[in-house]
Structure 1
Amino acid sequence: MKSLRNITSTYIAGIAFLTMLLVTSCKKEYLDPSRAKTDVALGSSQGLTAVAIGLQRVYSLNRTGVMFNSVAANGFITNELLLLNAGNVPELQLSTGGVAVDGTNTILLNLWTSANKIVYDSDLVIANAAKLGDKGYASGLIAYSSIFKALAIGNMAQYWEKVPDGTGTNAPFITRNAAFTKALAVLDNALTTITANPISTAFLSNIPSDVNIINTIHALKARYALFSGNYPLALTEANAVDLTKASFLKFDATSPNVLFTVISSNNVFQPLNASLGLNGIYAPDAADKRIPFYTFMQGSPAATLRMKGFAALTTSPFPIYLPGEIILIKAEVLARQPDLPNALTELNKVVTKTPASDLIYGLGADLPALTGSYTQQQLLDLIYKHRCIELYASGLKVEDMRRFNQPLADRKRNFFPYPFPERDNNTNTPADPAF
């Protein structure tokens, strides 16, 4: 199986060239100094592949990417994470919460800038791939880029009340719900393209094979349909996901998992506690085997709690979605219909799953099945609880807290302020939220 590093080396010259041309800035213009040269590079399948592979690098491979900053920002404001060193000012702001979080926060700036960079580059690939003669290769480029574009839009919509509608100068803003709808449209276009022209094997051999394109598109559609309140679509898309297939971001010794890099330093953050920041009716059961999956004790003379799971090793994969997330989407949609018996059936698939039966990641609660009768609210409370545990440090919890009507007092921010560079360069930037 090819790694991102190995594939990237194939296109290193193309990426280096395009990096010079597609320069990022605080503005979302990403203008290059030589439009003609860029047009030549983007007119070839090799050049477009270089940009497409670059999307994954921008998303996941360092502390400026969407992956790390989403996990960190979400983790602090939802009490998943404990700050270890108050000298880390951006993390301190988020850990403190409230008005301490402002437009100077570099975690939020990195998340915002990287997400917009991905949207910009994805648009380049999608628009120029459609012009290629090899439609099967073009289909792969469009589908692969659409995944990262949808992830970028979706992440911004989870954290900000409004999201830029495009990446041009003074881009207008749309509501977060409209942004989720836009992400769904991006994914719909990818599916339509694939249906018309199946992805070629030539394309699949040139990109990281760990991203299962078809399943990921359906999984993300299920996620963003759920977030936007389109429950019938969420259920349809969740049912379309093959839960035996993995889709993740792969790392190796030369391109390490950034979460591992941060956690291993033991100087930035770790899990808040062995209950993953949950308490009351949401606290994990003592026998829940997902707790030792996500946490462990290490150190001397006094051992301290450390993050494990998808931050355990340099090479630990980071799932784009978990099978458990898809099952819990089904459970939630059924509970809200309400179809409580079938919702409980789906929920129990997560509750009773053993680590050994999860052949992809080894993640399982291994608890007795929930039995008896539950009200709709009781079942929704249980679904929320198991989402918090199953999807720990995934960057999704704050969205869940809003959707399940958790008290504002249980989180340190509800939405984020807009980064100052955006406000300084875009007169359409909305007012910051009060909390």
Structure 2
Amino acid sequence: MAGCKLDITNPNGPTDAQVLTTRDGMITLSIGMRQFYSTSGLESLILTPGTTAKEVKGITTFTNIQELEAGGTGLPTFNGNVLNLWLRLLRVMGMAEDIIANAPTVLAGDPTMRSGVMAHANLFKAMALGGLATAFEQMPLQTNRNGQVTFSDRKAALAEAIRLLDEAVTLVTATPPSATFASQVAGTDFDLINTIQAYRARYNLVAGNYAAALAAANAVNLSARSQFVYNTQSPNPIYQQVQISANYAPRANLGLPATPVESGDGRLAFYLTTPDKSVGGEALKTLKGFFDAIDRPIPVYLPDEVRLIRAEALVRSNGDLNAAVTDINAVRTQRTGDPFGVYPGLAAYSGAVTSDALLLEIYKQRGAELFLTGQRLEDSRRFGRPAPPTNLTERTRNFYPYPDQERLTNPATPADPAI
């Protein structure tokens, strides 16, 4: 049978050899990796677990979104949103691995560019691994172009993400990246060094490495700002899905149960606005915050996350509870000075200074501060919130099933989780 060849070579595009063996190729791939993560990867990481953890509600008639919204044991292994989350983060990993493998040779004569490019790639591979660990029980630590990857558990994935970030710190400490790296790769909006430390703090906390989480959090400059930027050619992906396509809508109270939300919390007005709507008998809001314009930047991390990481690490390690209260109050009472203008404006914490009470307060503050940052599902598990299959009020899955596309091509794919 005759057929059409659709993989036509683009005469204006660089070949793989040109990308992976030239200085310009390394720079272009680095920028493209960050752009792909900030649009496609981040969209999946925010909206897919965000639906499962009840931050947003799927309101379209598209079957894949309705399946995700329903969740539970009925979520099929062929769900398109789960597949996108899997494939997009693996693609980020693959691009990062190409840079890590080739930059030492290609940029051997430019050590201050090499350290920046490699640390940047380490960061994004770590971010992809951390994102996969948010959603899946097991995942590959290394991609394979033949599709025959082996799987490791979440503990190993987090350990590898932390190793990559530790290595990134070593690289930029030994050889600080040049001004050329800053101008040609990072740009004025992306703060590489503070982002590396913030993600070290995040993943060490999730992994239970509390001393390391504290050390990394203390290394972050809380007045710095690191953000993904967008324009009409590379639009804010959450704006596209929520405001333009109307596939999702934010839940009232930031998707939190009524009890953990204080009516005077300024983050309610920061993230949510009117007009209200009711879908399936549920009250929904209109989205604001970092998602109300096609070119609105999205923070890579929020400084108050770092404060809450410190507080949680102190509490979980039986550390200084009064110091944890100080960090909690630095978040609660903030009215000025935040690099992104997120101000709770609440009174100081007045509850019991016990581990259980403070952990509940930290969960409440994380739920409001870190709305639609892709962390609610991980938080829900870590803080022992009501869980399926017995309770679907705060999350409808614990982990996702592995996509059919992976299972059909890779016999090493693990068994799906029950829910």
Q: TM-score, normalised by structure 1?
A: 0.87
- Kindly provide the CA deviation profile for residues 332-367 of structure 1, in whole angstroms up to 9, marking residues without a partner as x: 01111222111111111100011x331x21101000
Distance 2:62 2:160 in 1: 35
Runs of 4+ more than 4 Å apart: none
Distance 2:11 2:126 in 1: 22
Distance 1:385 1:266 in 2: 30
The 5 Å alignment of 1:38-53 reads 38-53=16-31
Distance 1:396 1:16 in 2: 40
- Do residues 122 (structure 1) and 104 (structure 2) align? no
Distance 1:403 1:210, change over 3 A: same
RMSD of Structure 2 on Structure 1 (CA):
2.0
- Do residues 94 (structure 1) and 68 (structure 2) align? yes
**CA deviation after TM superposition for structure 1 residue 299, in Å:** 7.7
**CA deviation after TM superposition for structure 1 residue 100, in Å:** 2.6
- Of 392, 412, 416, 1:428 maps to 412
Contact 1:15–1:50 (CA under 8 A) maintained in structure 2: no
The 5 Å alignment of 1:2-151 reads 17-18=13-14, 38-61=16-39, 65-85=40-60, 87-131=61-105, 132=107, 133-151=109-127
Q: Which runs of 5+ in 1 are unaligned?
A: 1-13, 22-37
Aligned to 1:286: 263
Distance 1:424 1:200, change over 3 A: same
Distance 1:197 1:357, change over 3 A: closer
**CA deviation after TM superposition for structure 1 residue 380, in Å:** 0.4
Aligned to 1:32: none
**CA deviation after TM superposition for structure 1 residue 196, in Å:** 2.1
Aligned to 2:331: 350
Query: Which residue identity is paired with 2:228?
Result: L
The 5 Å alignment of 1:144-183 reads 144-168=120-144, 169=146, 170-183=148-161
Distance 1:266 1:276 in 2: 20
% identical equivalent positions: 36
Query: Which residue identity is paired with 1:413?
Result: R
Aligned to 2:227: 248
Distance 1:16 1:149 in 2: 28
Contact 1:15–1:51 (CA under 8 A) maintained in structure 2: no
Distance 1:252 1:104 in 2: 32
Q: Which runs of 5+ in 2 are unaligned?
A: 1-9, 278-282
The 5 Å alignment of 1:257-336 reads 257-265=236-244, 267-273=246-252, 275-282=253-260, 284-298=261-275, 305-336=285-316
- Do residues 224 (structure 1) and 200 (structure 2) align? no
Contact 1:225–1:233 (CA under 8 A) maintained in structure 2: yes
**CA deviation after TM superposition for structure 1 residue 270, in Å:** 1.0
Instruction: Give 3-state SS (helix, strand or coil) of 1:82's partner.
Output: strand
Q: TM-score, normalised by structure 2?
A: 0.90
Distance 1:249 1:238 in 2: 21
Contact 2:351–2:357 (CA under 8 A) maintained in structure 1: no
Aligned to 1:365: 344
Distance 1:381 1:118, change over 3 A: same
Distance 1:40 1:68, change over 3 A: closer
Instruction: Give 3-state SS (helix, strand or coil) of 1:279's partner.
Output: coil
Query: Which residue identity is paired with 1:92?
Result: Q
- Kindly provide the CA deviation profile for residues 270-302 of structure 1, in whole angstroms up to 9, marking residues without a partner as x: 1111x11212532x11110000000000389xx
Contact 1:94–1:101 (CA under 8 A) maintained in structure 2: yes
